Structure 1
């Protein structure tokens, strides 16, 4: 029997010690399965079955598997500012997360006309067409009803037979995704999966109780990750609010004498001055070593070539480089200097930086990061090039900064640095939790690792 805590990495070779989730009072018991049978979806435990999607739907509903209305039945000019939400592909992700951004709405009257395509909480919604085929999410419970667009289909599961969260995870896995894509048919312009082929997709079928245990484990990881993301959003907003109060609106300095600055086109506190970035921070332009020095074995330092290796706040790269030509240090501000120009990250350790990145080194790195974030459009306006957008060292060097006297910079840095340290710690934990969850997902969904007790 295996006891497991997310603080510990999964191992095949020795038992994992007893533990609890760090933020919720949960004890889990797992066991490794040893008896399997071969099926059309691969190996599953002998006591599991394979069912088709259509066998697991809520047959009380007239349309348990349905797609959205034809495009001619719903036009953009029929959207209203509030009403019944229309769920579009833009609201779905390959990670199974529902996005409320860019929701559009229709009237109740229009909804009744198209009610066939109604979607309710915990219905599984999947993009069925084109390059976005396979994006998916469950309708969240805070949306009591909605309408899917013409590019989506939905499944209403029978909750007594199927846990929607378990089957969301199955269709997130590459086997679920492949089962969608191989059944897609080429239309006049793009591939589409129709309702009948989708309804016949084979899926693993553990008991509903085991489905719920599997879904609960994976959902706890999702919840922990989302909680840390929300923490970071709040911490960043607090840091930015302080920055704007001090250095944009000058609220703590209203009683000081102000003078007009022609370069900025506005009044600033008298003792403040505009300086070039190069006088405030050391600028290290990246240099890409030969690819023969790249590896995924951990030799050297992690390597960043451009935005492709950027994470939310800190880099996420699996490539290392043993040739240390240009190195970013801890707390350097990382800025992309080739298209797209001006994307920002913070160095949470040393990195080798390639030609697409510059490292900006300053004692007051929190101020510099927030300044460049606030005036990011101005930074992006420096990009130029005949074949690709880029920014040169000289252009970075002359980028103007409005700087207060050093004691104010020090006070600000002391105030917001703990916020950024917490953001970076949270982001590292998110990356670890995501890695463990993604490792667990196929093992749990296909029964290699059984959840015995929650």
Structure 2
């Protein structure tokens, strides 16, 4: 099987370019609208993340044209997480990359840049590049290190076939993510319509409250009157057994386990570390001891998810080395308590949207497992060289 692969030095089949030096581009050069410039935090799972992107003017774009990226380029993190890379699609064609990144541009017709970007995603390759990075406190790579890497590549026909298969899976994953973003906007809009703008009740009577005017018959209550902030349970790493139960920490999912202690759907609130963060969990799970989870709730969990966001619990944490959310402080926060019939009507409208989001997440989990399996079996299992 290995005889079907050809060994290449990366620098012989691709141009490796570092980003602009700090003296060439300063934060003060950024403009509100212009050409985006990507840096390490924009490198997702072989995709460029289009969030919080700085922009440069047309003049700076021309001045820094040497650092443009085009469809088919691959951008690496130069410092820190040196195993992170992203493939440049048509959407990012003509953008720029920062000095904290390296650009790989394939120049050999025997190599597919899309295939190469997936090759760089092999766990064996990522382990290898972490190993050869320089610097103990802040690992880094440079053009020479990356250029000198040896890779093994099959025929171009096979590359194109494999890359197309993997890319089609990634496209399905991205489509599900985009669908979920739209669904999330819809559920937030419904909550705002019902419980912020009071759209369905605008023709009724309103009364004054400590939270402003609310429809007559509604109440203002404390969190403690409606639900319990239950403590998550410690789970030592050595006691974790790999399974399909998500382990939820204050910042979201941190691991998998074989045993759940809370049924979903449910809400987890960060207690230590990411204090006050709110995570929706749509399946049975295990909340660890850096969290609270909502328990014994007397009102719809779907309504509470949005009502808790309105309380901005992330601003109520203690100012210490490890930020924490005091349970009594969390209990004392106020929320609007509508009649049961109103809350049930709202739940009936949003539950189908939440279920669709959950179904898309489950499908993506399955697609990611499939893609990762194919990465190991369709690409070269271990093509990195330590020579």
- Structure 2 counterpart of 1:390, from 308, 324, 328: 324
**Whole-angstrom CA distance in 1 between matches of 2:16 and 2:60:** 21
Alignment pair present for 1:274 and 2:220: yes
Please list the CA deviations of residues 288-308 of structure 1 after superposition, one character each: whole Å capped at 9, or x if unmatched: 36777x33155xx94746236
Contact 2:8 2:152 (C-alpha < 8 Å) held by counterparts = yes
Distance 1:274 1:227, change over 3 A: same
**Whole-angstrom CA distance in 2 between matches of 1:307 and 1:207:** 47
**Whole-angstrom CA distance in 2 between matches of 1:374 and 1:401:** 8
Deviation of 1:426 after TM superposition, in Å, equals 1.5
Alignment pair present for 1:171 and 2:114: no
Deviation of 1:116 after TM superposition, in Å, equals 2.6
**Whole-angstrom CA distance in 2 between matches of 1:185 and 1:339:** 30
**Whole-angstrom CA distance in 2 between matches of 1:227 and 1:167:** 23
Counterpart secondary structure, 2:208: strand
**Whole-angstrom CA distance in 2 between matches of 1:152 and 1:84:** 17
- Structure 2 counterpart of 1:118, from 58, 68, 72: 68
Deviation of 1:182 after TM superposition, in Å, equals 4.3
**Residue of structure 2 in register with 1:56 after alignment:** 13
If the length of structure 2 is used for normalisation, what is the TM-score?
Answer: 0.88
* 1:395-414 alignment, distance < 5 Å: 395-414=329-348
Counterpart secondary structure, 1:244: helix
Deviation of 1:446 after TM superposition, in Å, equals 0.8
**Residue of structure 1 in register with 2:157 after alignment:** 209
- Structure 1: gaps (5+ residues): 1-35, 37-44, 58-63, 449-454
**Whole-angstrom CA distance in 1 between matches of 2:54 and 2:89:** 16
- Structure 2 counterpart of 1:367, from 303, 306, 312: 303
**Residue of structure 1 in register with 2:191 after alignment:** 243
Contact 1:118 1:147 (C-alpha < 8 Å) held by counterparts = yes
Contact 2:248 2:255 (C-alpha < 8 Å) held by counterparts = no
Please list the CA deviations of residues 390-422 of structure 1 after superposition, one character each: whole Å capped at 9, or x if unmatched: 334433333311011111111111111111111
Counterpart secondary structure, 1:408: helix
Distance 1:374 1:231, change over 3 A: farther
**Residue of structure 1 in register with 2:270 after alignment:** 336
- Structure 2 counterpart of 1:307, from 250, 255, 259: 250
**Whole-angstrom CA distance in 1 between matches of 2:359 and 2:170:** 17
Contact 1:288 1:305 (C-alpha < 8 Å) held by counterparts = no
**Whole-angstrom CA distance in 1 between matches of 2:381 and 2:249:** 39
**Whole-angstrom CA distance in 1 between matches of 2:320 and 2:10:** 52
**Residue of structure 2 in register with 1:6 after alignment:** none
**Whole-angstrom CA distance in 1 between matches of 2:96 and 2:339:** 56
**Whole-angstrom CA distance in 1 between matches of 2:64 and 2:321:** 48
**Residue of structure 1 in register with 2:385 after alignment:** none
**Residue of structure 2 in register with 1:317 after alignment:** 255
Counterpart secondary structure, 1:46: helix
With 390-399 and 198-207 compared, the bigger mean Cα shift is at 390-399
**Whole-angstrom CA distance in 1 between matches of 2:92 and 2:169:** 23
Counterpart secondary structure, 1:134: coil
Alignment pair present for 1:356 and 2:305: no
Please list the CA deviations of residues 77-99 of structure 1 after superposition, one character each: whole Å capped at 9, or x if unmatched: 22233333323223223x22201
Counterpart secondary structure, 2:90: coil
Query: For the aligned residues, what is the CA RMSD?
Result: 2.7
Deviation of 1:190 after TM superposition, in Å, equals 4.9
- Structure 2 counterpart of 1:66, from 17, 20, 40: 17
Deviation of 1:244 after TM superposition, in Å, equals 0.5
Size of the alignment, in residue pairs? Answer: 380
Deviation of 1:432 after TM superposition, in Å, equals 1.9
Contact 1:90 1:102 (C-alpha < 8 Å) held by counterparts = no
Deviation of 1:386 after TM superposition, in Å, equals 5.8
**Whole-angstrom CA distance in 2 between matches of 1:217 and 1:91:** 24
Contact 2:318 2:326 (C-alpha < 8 Å) held by counterparts = no
**Whole-angstrom CA distance in 2 between matches of 1:152 and 1:191:** 13
Point out the structure with the larger helix share: 2
**Residue of structure 1 in register with 2:38 after alignment:** 87
Larger Rg: 1
